[in-house]
Amino acid sequence: MTRPSGAIRATVALWALMPLAALASVEDGSSQPGGSADVDQAPIATRQILVTFADRPTRRLPGAGSTRRGYSGRRNYETSPRSARLAAKLAREYDLEHVDGWPIELLGVHCVVYEVPAGRTTTEVIQRLVADPRVDSAQQMQLFEVLGRASYDDPHFDLQHGLHSMQVEQAHQWSRGAGVRVAVVDTGVDVDHPELAGRVAIAENFVDDDALGFARDRHGTAVAGIIASRAGNGLGIVGVAPLADVLALKACWEGDAGSSPAVCSTFTLAKAISFAVRKRADVLNLSLTGPADALLSALLSEAIDQGVIVVSALAGDRRDLFGFPASLDRVIAVAASEAPKSTLPLGLRAPGDDVLTIRPGAAYDFMSGSSLAAAHVSGVTALLLERSPRLTHESIHRLLEATSHSTETAVAVNACAALAGLLGTAGCAAAAEQDRAEAEIRPGSSL
């Protein structure tokens, strides 16, 4: 990966705790061994319950977190004789296995961990204990998981500030774009890049017969990488829709490395768009712009009539002169969220500045441009279509617009909020809090 010239400051992760209810409420009668749990191992909690009763410890505990063992740390405090007797008596009376105990001085109670034997449900035991006048409380042992940026093992995931700002990781709890076909009409794509292995369903060249040139093209590779890079493969980055199927359709000639943009023609674009519709693409990504074109307008209108969602990049400050096809009414137009709000009042916004993506030859790089913003939205569209394949371009645009989040300098599509809005559920942490926690990442190269 090409490293930027400027320093990259560390990312500050947000951490929280969430009940892992599925692990904490199993009532299948299975039994797990008791005893003290090492701090390095998560406790097996499905058969364990917590019981508290009034008590006063005989020695003050040094402080929370002062023991080095999970449940064992008795040398740091002394259980009162009354607590020990009552804990043992409850174990005998209710036929429970005593696992451990701890005086919670702050609450004035002694807390005991019991294990419920096989053949009895924890619910039944808890109900009986709650009715016992000697018991203050009884509850199921719960497990919690830490929320953070470590759920993917892709080593550059923390550098994908665009994905974090759009809360893509949280959106993946509901959808990863499985079964959705995204046509990337662009330059060629390195279909053998490790991030795209198994993700490119079709690769077609409508420009020439240069297979080696197809694989070396940078722009199409970068766009496809943002949309569909594999997740959790221990490599590089994560795509917005890592289970989507890519149709890599070359309709543009790649320019000289870093010196000129790729160029497409009406004819090559018409062939690629027609092919995408014929191959039943669900999303058509057009990270390109040019003058209004009657033939392409007719083709795109027909594609939209047939249910294809067309996403196109806005052209920055050249919108009035070169705004096509983003200027078409039923095309989802996308600008870079980093652009000033007053510059492009129309269209959705998505990350487009210093975006980490893939390059040909198993490489990675930071690139910039509204092309990348459009790719982000095509990926989010794939997430939505997996859950609701009959969504129209109007409903997708309204949903993305309504759930976009705004800061003082930018407004951007929020993948998690869009999925939550579609499914009528909650589950997205405040994007503004994530934005404040993110340290600046300002790499130097561009697309």
d(CA 303, CA 171): 28
Each residue of 177-187: b (16+ CB within 10 Å) or e? beebbbbbbbb
Catalytic residue among 219, 376, 393, 397: 219
Query: Cβ of 295: how many Cβ atoms within 10 Å?
Result: 12
Strand order in the sheet with 309-313: 200-205, 245-250, 181-186, 283-286, 309-313, 332-336, 348-350
| 291 cis-preceded (ω within 30 degrees of 0) | no
The conformation of residue 292, written as its DSSP 8-state character, comes to -
The number of C-alpha atoms within 13 Å of 328 and in the hemisphere containing its C-beta is: 29
Phi, psi of 349, rounded to the nearest 5 degrees: -125, 150
Catalytic residue among 229, 371, 378, 404: 371
Inter-residue contact 227 to 240 (CB < 8 Å): yes
Asked about 371 being catalytic, the answer comes back as yes
Asked about 219 being catalytic, the answer comes back as yes
Residue type at 83 in one-letter notation: S
* Residues marked as catalytic: 186, 219, 371
